[in-house]
Amino acid sequence: MNPSSLLLAAAMVALYVFLWIGAPILLLSWLRSRRQEAIQRQIALTDAIDARLGPIVSPVVTKPLWGPWRVRIAMPLTRPVPVGRILAITHGVLSGIDRGNPGRYRIVLTPKERHHREGRIWRYTLNVQR
């Protein structure tokens, strides 16, 4: 065998080992760091809202593969004062975390559901006051 074919075979073995062992490890590490960052943002946001208004909502922070951060908050949308305060707190916290790139997040407000227990059946109704 000539040296170039040995070198090519060694490179192919190294590439094969990386693709089957190294790449999944790197992918899992990347996914774990994204999840940890989302958890840290969610904790910071929940703590800030809890410190200023009490435990009235629990936001869920996620990061899609493409696009900005997404904050999903279920709250009673019929009361504008708490909604405005929560939006201001959310903007302040997320802008403080992203000093280099403020404003790259999307807030999704959903109506808060009330749970009524009737026997063994949970019934979900929207709390809408007119």
34-54 pLDDT per residue, tens: 999 999 999 999 999 999 988
- Distance in angstroms (rounded) separating the CA atoms of residues 113 and 126: 5
3 state SS of 54: coil
- Give me the chain's average pLDDT, please: 81
10 Å CB burial of residue 84 (0-12, 13-18, 19+) is exposed
pLDDT the model gives residue 119: 45
CB-CB contact of 59 with 49 (8 Å):
yes
Sequence-separated (6 or more) residues with CB below 8 Å from residue 37: 63
User: How remote is the C-alpha of 19 from its chain's centroid?
Assistant: 29
Could you give the domains of the chain?
37-126 (3.30.300)
Amino acid occupying residue 52:
R
pLDDT the model gives residue 27: 92
The candidate with the shortest Cα–Cα distance to 72, out of 28, 104, 42, is: 42
**pLDDT tens by residue, 55-91:** 888 899 999 888 888 999 988 777 788 888 999 999 8
Other C-beta atoms closer than 10 Å to the C-beta of 112 total 15
